[in-house]
Each structure stands twice: as C-alpha cells, then as structure tokens.
Amino acid sequence: MADQPLTDDASATSGAPAAPAAGAAHSDAGASVATGAPPQQSASARRTAADAGAKTTGAAPDINPWAALSALLIGFFMILVDSTIVSVATETMVDKLDTSLNNVLWVTSGYLLAYAVPLLITGRLGDRFGPKNLYLIGLAVFTLSSAACGFAPNVGVLIAARVVQGLGAAIMTPQTMAIITRIFPADGRGKAMGVWGSTAGVATLVGPILGGVLVDHAGWEWIFFVNVPVGLIGLAMAWKLVPSLPSHAHKFDLVGVALSAVALFCVVFGIQEGAQYDWGTITGIVSVPLLIILGLVFFVLFILWERRYKGEQLVPLHLFANRNFSLANIAITSVGFAITAMSFPIMIYAQAVLGYSPTKAALLLAPMAVISGLLAPVVGGLVDRKHPAILAGFGLVCFSVALFWYGRMLGADTSIWWLLAIACLLGVANGFMWAPLSVTATRTLEPRFAGAGSGIYNTTRQIGAVIGSAAVASLMDSRLRHHLGEQAAGGAHQAGGGHMPTQVAEQFARAMGETLYLPAAVLIVGIIAAVMFTNPHRRTGRHAADAH
C-alpha cells in the first residue's frame, strides 16, 4: 500500500492553517492542568490562529491557540473521565441500585455504544456546520445528561441517560481534533498533541480516584453531578476562546449514514450482549450471532456503496490509501480495546481480593497518570523530529508488557509495591503512545477532510473500547466460573471486601490476572502496525525544500 500524501506539503510546512486532525484516542484532556503553563506560543502558531479567526469571525488577530486548546481540553477531559469513572463504583452501584453486575456494566457499555456509532456522522456535521458550533452543542448535551444520570432512580433510567451522554460525547470528540489541527501549524503540532496526549494519563488517574472519593464520601450519584459545574465552565470558555473556523459545503450521503449506523449498532450490540445471552437467542428469532452477522453484512454493503457512490462519501475511502493513516487506525483500535478492558479486572481485584476502598484501589494507578503527564509533552516535542515507529512502538510494547506483568503478579497477597511498579510502566507506555499515534494519523489530512478523518480515527478507537468492554466482561465471568465453579463465583464476588477465604481469594485473583492477558495480546496487533509506520519527516523535508 503506497503512502500517499493527502495534502500539499508546502502548505503543511509554511505556516498555513494546519490540516485538521483525526481525534486523539484515549488521550486527552486537562493536560494543561498536569503540566502547568502551556508551551511558549510560536509566531507561526499565532499567524495560523490569526488567519483562521480573521477569515471567519473578524476576531482580533491575536487569537491564542493554546487558550483555545485549554478550553477544548475541559470537554474532552470529561469524556475520558466518564469512560473510566464508573469502574471504581461498580460494586457500590450493584448494591445501591439493587441490580446485577451485568446491568451495571451496561452503564459503561451503553455509553461507549452511543459514543461509537455516530462518530462518522458527527465528524461530517462538523465539516458542514463548523466544528465550534458542534462542539458547543455536544458539550451542552453531555452536561445536561450528566445531571440526568445523577437523578436516575433505577439502573434502566441511568443506562438511558448514559446513552444520551454518549451521544453528546460523540458530537464533541471529532470537533476537538479538527479544531486543534487547524489552529496549530504543522511544525508545532507535535507539542500540542503532546499536551493533548498527556491528558490520557491524567484522566485515567482522575476518573477512578475522583470516582472513589465521591463514592466513599458522597454517593455514586456524584460521579455524574460533578460534570455539571465543569461542563458549564467549559461551555463559557469554549464560547469565548475557541475560534470559529471555515465550514465546507457537504452533501450528506444519507444511504451511507444509514448503512454505517446499522452495521456499527448490530456488531457492537451483539458483542456486548453475547455474554448475557450465552451467545444464543435474545428474543424470538433474534440472536447474538444473527446480529453480528447482520452487522457484518451491512458493513460490506456500506463499503460497496461508498466505492460506487458518485457524490461525496461519508467515509472518503481514499484516506486509507495513506499507509500511516491506516496503520494508526489499527494501532489506536488496539489501544482503545486495552485501555477499557484493563480497568475492570484491576479495580475489582483491588476491592474484592485486597479489600481496598474505591479510593485506595484507584490510587494504585496514580504512578501511571503522573509519569504519563510528565512524559507526554516531552514525547510530543520528539514527534516533530523522530520516527513515529520508534516512539509509538516503544509505548505499545511497554503497555503490553505491563498487562502481561499484571497477569502474572495478581494474587491474594501480592505486594502493593509490585502493583505500583507495574503502574509506573503503564505511565511510560501512555506517555509514548498518544501523541505519535494521533500526529501520524493526521499529519497529511486536508482541511476539508478534517471531520471525516477525525470521525474515522475516533470511531476505530471507540469500536476497540466497546469490544474491549464486552470481551473483558465475558472473559472475567468465564475465568471465575473456571476457577471457582458456577455458584462459588457469584458467592465470592458478593463476599469481596478482602473477606474471602485465602484459597478462594487466590483463585479469584488468578481469574482477574488471566483476564488481563487478553488486552495484552490484542496490543501486539497495535505494535505490529506501529513499527510499520513510514517516516513522514524525510518526505516533508524534501517537499518543503522543493517548495522553496
């Protein structure tokens, strides 16, 4: 597959408005909180922002892209926190809502499903109506639905509110990366992505720890109520600081929208429901295998339609002719899978086997967030100079090794120091993954394909996350039944709190450890993709020289 540039390299290196980026994975927000003041704004960055503002809003030519980034980080940070915050409250919600573990897992899975399915569409909507407008709408929906989650009287209402919350997140996410790439010049985008990337570790820390503190001292409802004031602040900041950027006239591919939505929904819903229905019948003639097969058929129909469609495609298939864009999407899918899949086994192990409170359990991951926050901006600076295969490949290898290490070490009496050491390695992994993957995916996208590219990148990441959530729930249940038997597995989980008999605790811990081998293995696919990246700097430098 030839590596075909998707934009004019001369404009990419001359300070013209940067090509919009595909959304950064997991990675994400609040980085300025972790790193202090933003990096020094370059002259070319100010020119880019000034051009964007002057052409579209008549704004003063001193628009600061770093200020806009800080506003965008607030919303994206909330999205990431809400992807992980529920894991630490799982046992409490099972008890307080008087429901099953599978239903509570759907509080996360429903959010991820609603987040993943519309991303292709919302990316295009940002291209058509302006990314700032869509971002503000998404943040408003997310904030209001967070309040609804907190007031939910039962798990059914809570899941419904989380679905709406996921829709708000889907509207926001593609716009954030499109805006960031367009207001930062190509030669400064690595630093911006580094700040963006460092928020992955920060959000991973804040989600479980904030969730633990709120669950311990205020109640599970407050893991959602806390979003309301933060969301209002984010709305005010984005309204004032984020520039309005040119929109592009698009004719929507309505058939493509319908086919992609049905395909994604059937596949994701089928995988999520598989464990609950023992991969059999759901109701009547509807079964899990039927849904998955139907989804795959619609996906094939979607690809065939997009190839034959003479108008503007929902997914511009020519983007995949770019080797780095395609490989980055494969890698970020594995990362989305692993990030989501690892949190449930670790949190449940810490609380059920070690007897930790939700807050103390979350603190086991504190070194990961701290190290990631410190490393990611530095790595972001390296992205503009070093081969992305080296940086991203190293991060993914560290991630996979850390999860295999967890799998080997989890036991009834595992020392906390071993667990913290593994968390440190996870921090190194997170610090090296996000910026190289996102910059490599988006470096050559044209502005008019910003929303589409961002939608694709975020869709692949979220599909990985949804499948990871469903797969880990199924595998956890399977390993518990294998080690403890049908009835003992349920009884052990209910006992929890560090009160299990030693033999039962050891088998429970072993089941959680074996579950972590799955995301570790999936990351090998991402490693292979990352090491196949081509070096964009060599090509960019040659074209830049020719342009001058």
Model pLDDT for residues 177-191, shown as the tens digit of each residue: 888 878 887 777 777
| Residue 494 pLDDT class (50, 70, 90 cuts) | low
Report pLDDT for 49: 43
Residue that wins the pLDDT comparison between 63 and 546 = 63
Which of 209-213, 281-285, 289-293 has the highest mean predicted lDDT (pLDDT)? Answer: 289-293
Residue that wins the pLDDT comparison between 347 and 525 = 525
Q: Which residues contact 95 (CB under 8 A, 6 or more apart)?
A: none
Token pair belonging to 295: 């989804």
Instruction: Give the burial string for 287-301 (b: 16+ CB within 10 Å, else e).
Output: bbeebbebbeebbeb
Give the domains, in start order, of the chain with CATH numbers: 9-253+311-547 (1.20.1250.20), 254-310 (no CATH)
CA distance 360 to 429: 22
Confidence check: pLDDT of 522 > 80: yes
For 486, other C-beta atoms within 10 Å of its C-beta total: 9
CA distance 125 to 115: 15
Model pLDDT for residues 324-344, shown as the tens digit of each residue: 999 999 999 999 899 888 988
Confidence check: pLDDT of 168 > 80: yes
Mean pLDDT in residue range 404-413: 93
Task: Give the 3-state secondary structure of residue 342.
Answer: helix
Average pLDDT of every residue of the chain = 80
CA distance 361 to 385: 39
Model pLDDT for residues 428-439, shown as the tens digit of each residue: 998 898 888 988
Residue that wins the pLDDT comparison between 176 and 391 = 391
Confidence check: pLDDT of 401 > 90: yes
Residues 459 and 333 sit within 8 Å (Cβ to Cβ):
no
CA distance 359 to 481: 28
Residue that wins the pLDDT comparison between 327 and 539 = 327
Mean pLDDT in residue range 502-514: 90
Residues 117 and 257 sit within 8 Å (Cβ to Cβ):
no
Report pLDDT for 546: 37
Token pair belonging to 517: 């081998």
- The 3-class secondary structure across 274-319, one letter per residue, is HCCCCCCEEECCEEHHHHHHHHHHHHHHHHHHHHHCCCCCCCCHHH
Q: Which residues contact 149 (CB under 8 A, 6 or more apart)?
A: 158, 161, 162, 165, 221, 224
Report pLDDT for 61: 47
Report pLDDT for 374: 85
Report pLDDT for 8: 36
Confidence check: pLDDT of 14 > 50: no
| Residue 547 pLDDT class (50, 70, 90 cuts) | very low
Which of 16-30, 80-94, 316-330 has the highest mean predicted lDDT (pLDDT)? Answer: 316-330
Report pLDDT for 490: 56
Confidence check: pLDDT of 318 > 50: yes
| Residue 496 pLDDT class (50, 70, 90 cuts) | low
Going by C-alpha positions, the residue among 435, 406, 409, 410 that lies closest to residue 201 is 435
Residues 1 and 171 sit within 8 Å (Cβ to Cβ):
no
Provide the whole-model pTM.
Answer: 0.76
Model pLDDT for residues 436-459, shown as the tens digit of each residue: 898 888 777 776 776 778 788 888
Complete DSSP assignment for 499-517: -S-HHHHHHHHHHHHHHTH
AA identity, residue 548: H
Token pair belonging to 354: 């070690």
Going by C-alpha positions, the residue among 338, 337, 359, 341 that lies closest to residue 350 is 359
Which of 106-120, 287-301, 364-378 has the highest mean predicted lDDT (pLDDT)? Answer: 287-301
Mean pLDDT in residue range 395-407: 97
Report pLDDT for 397: 98
